[in-house]
Amino acid sequence: MAQYSIKDLEHLTGIKAHTIRIWEKRYSILHPKRTTTNIRYYDDEDVRRIINISILNDKGFKISHISGFSETEIQEKVEYLSLDAGEFKTQIESLVLAMINMSESRFNDILSKAIMVQGFEKTFLNIVFPFLQRIGLLWQTGAVNPGQEHFISNLIRQKLIANIDAQNHPVSTHSKRFILFLPEGELHELGILFLAYLIKKRGHELMYLGQFTPLQSVIEADRIWNSDILITSFISAISGVIPKEYAEKMARTFLDKKVIFTGQLSKEVSELKYKNIMTFPENTGIINYLDKLNNV
């Protein structure tokens, strides 16, 4: 059984620790335990309860009313709210809860309903990526553990790969050849897997080289496959890759290709003056670019 501090609860829900204490005192919504050294802590059941309460409170339920609901009533109301595919915040909170519970069935249920209504692309843009940003913050504060983060990341990865494989659009005269990869030291591939889905969905050809790819391997693959566009991503500062230096090397190596850099750290590349370099720190930019390719 995990132990959480009141600060962890604040990070998980966005509700200030001071407010949680008031709710405890006035409405007895939580009953913190104490360690042998008399330090207050909360367990998994408390976390599930406070996240559900925060969802209901955010949707206009008064805390005085919520405190009178049974555990079953709270759960039923949250599940009903999560059925609305347009309620992005509620669905993100519900995914956080599925991650904490490590519930694959609940995660799949929430995502499947959203995809049914919005489609795969919009679900990832409106729900999954904001959820991943939230998880990143929770991981940094220690409110979630590595096991929970890996559990949910692998479920998302499975969804992406399944949908990439499902794209079988015919190649047209406007189709381009893309090579996608992550440089050595970079392991966060969910963003670039999503790009692989977008590229195949729009009818282009794709070679996906994956994580931790040496630049020499990219050069050899391109020599065989002769791509039009190469895409890589700079996400983690701890990968050891210096974006500017790496981008310059790629620009000089692939002079006759378009070289695209995505991810937040790609902002560091934007001031380079190579004609074959493009940078898209946000998803909207690369999506607009891909759509323009299809309208040529």
Q: Which residue has the higher pLDDT, 195 or 235?
A: 195
Among the ranges given (43-52, 231-240, 274-283), the one the predictor scored with the smallest mean pLDDT: 231-240
Clarify whether residues 183 and 258 are in a common domain.
yes
38 shares a domain with 129: yes
Same domain for 218 and 83, yes or no, is no
Q: Is it the case that residue 289 has pLDDT exceeding 90? A: yes
Q: How many CB atoms lie within 10 A of CB 291?
A: 11
What torsion do the CA atoms of 220, 223, 227, 229 make, to the nearest 10 degrees? 60
pLDDT band per the 50, 70, 90 thresholds, residue 209? very high
In this prediction, residue 275 carries a pLDDT of: 92
Please indicate, yes or no, whether residues 203 and 129 belong to a single structural domain of this protein: no
- 1 band by pLDDT with thresholds 50, 70 and 90: low
By three-state DSSP, how is residue 263 classified?
coil
Residue-level pLDDT at 237: 65
Residues 270, 203 share a domain: yes
pLDDT in the model for residue 296: 55
Point out the domain boundary residue: 131, 164, 197.
Answer: 164
3-class secondary structure, 15 = coil
Residue 85 has pLDDT above 80, yes or no: no
HSE (side-chain half, CA atoms, 13 Å) at 218: 25
Pick the last residue of a domain from 164, 199, 224: 164
- Give 18-75 pLDDT, tens digit per residue: 999 999 999 999 988 988 888 888 988 888 888 889 888 888 899 999 999 998 898 8
- Report how far Cα 215 is from the mean position of its chain's Cα atoms: 26
pTM for the predicted model, two decimal places: 0.83
Residue 56 lies in a domain: yes
Q: Write the DSSP string, 35-82.
A: -TT--EEB-HHHHHHHHHHHHHHHTT--HHHHTTS-HHHHHHHHHHHH
In a domain, 170, yes or no: no
**Token match 């720190």: residue?**
281
Q: Same domain, yes or no, for 159 and 35?
A: yes
Give the pLDDT of residue 38.
Answer: 87
The answer to which of 6-10, 80-84, 128-132, 232-236 has the lowest mean pLDDT is 80-84
Find the CATH number of the domain harbouring 114.
1.10.1660.10
Indicate which CATH number applies to the domain containing 264.
3.40.50.280
Contact 40, 50 (CB under 8 A): no
Mean pLDDT computed over 271-282: 90
Domain span holding position 39:
6-164
For CA atoms 131, 137, 141, 146, give the dihedral sign: positive
pLDDT above 90: residue 286: yes
User: When comparing pLDDT for 25 and 271, which is higher?
Assistant: 25
Residues 186, 149 share a domain? no
Indicate the pairing of strand 177-183 with strand 229-233.
parallel
- The alpha carbon torsion through 55, 57, 60, 63 (nearest 10 deg) reads 150
Residue 169 lies in a domain: no
160-205, pLDDT tens digit by residue?
Answer: 999 999 998 887 778 999 999 999 888 889 999 999 999 999 999 9
Number of domains within the chain: 2
Co-location of 226 and 138 in the same domain: no
Residues 15, 148, single domain; the answer is yes
Q: Of 98, 131, 164, at which residue does a domain stop?
A: 164
Does residue 239 register a pLDDT over 70? no
pLDDT score of 228: 96
Q: Do 142 and 185 sit in the same domain of this protein?
A: no
185/215 same-domain check: yes
Does a structural domain hold residue 22? yes
Same domain, 67 and 107: yes
